[in-house]
Amino acid sequence: MTNIRKEIEDMRALGSLPPEDGADIDILKKYESLYRSVTRPVTDDEARILVTLFGPDGCFGAASALMHLIETAPGWPLKECLLNQDNEWVIELRNRCIRSGLIPLAEGEAWPLEFGRSSRVEP
């Protein structure tokens, strides 16, 4: 990977966003500071890193902010970023791509009546 800014590397070094229950305030402040220092758009390589940072919940809105940052990548959607169907935020990124017409449903896949979990992306 190339074109990775220090702020993104530092976020990667912090690891996944922490869960809301029991989150360390100092870690949250570091994430916030790094997030705010990233100028938009992110590169495709940076988006590939950022998509791995989703934690088990919304982390006080940080996951939603991260999702919007990822979507600024010029090559978005990046199919390989949408394969982890075990994370609700990756599922939401994929569903947003489908709803906006950026990616089609997988063959034989029917969109659910509600905008919830949909089936996995074929690699």
d(CA 45, CA 110): 31
d(CA 35, CA 85): 24
d(CA 35, CA 29): 10
Six-digit token string for 43: 């590169």
Residue 110, pLDDT score = 66
pTM: 0.84
Residue 115 — very low, low, confident or very high, per pLDDT cuts 50/70/90? very low
| Boundaries of every domain in the chain | 6-99
Tell me the percentage of the chain whose pLDDT exceeds 90: 67
d(CA 24, CA 60): 12
Residues 35-94 pLDDT 10s: 999 999 999 999 999 999 999 999 999 999 999 999 999 999 998 999 888 899 999 999
CB 13: neighbour CB atoms within 10 A? 9
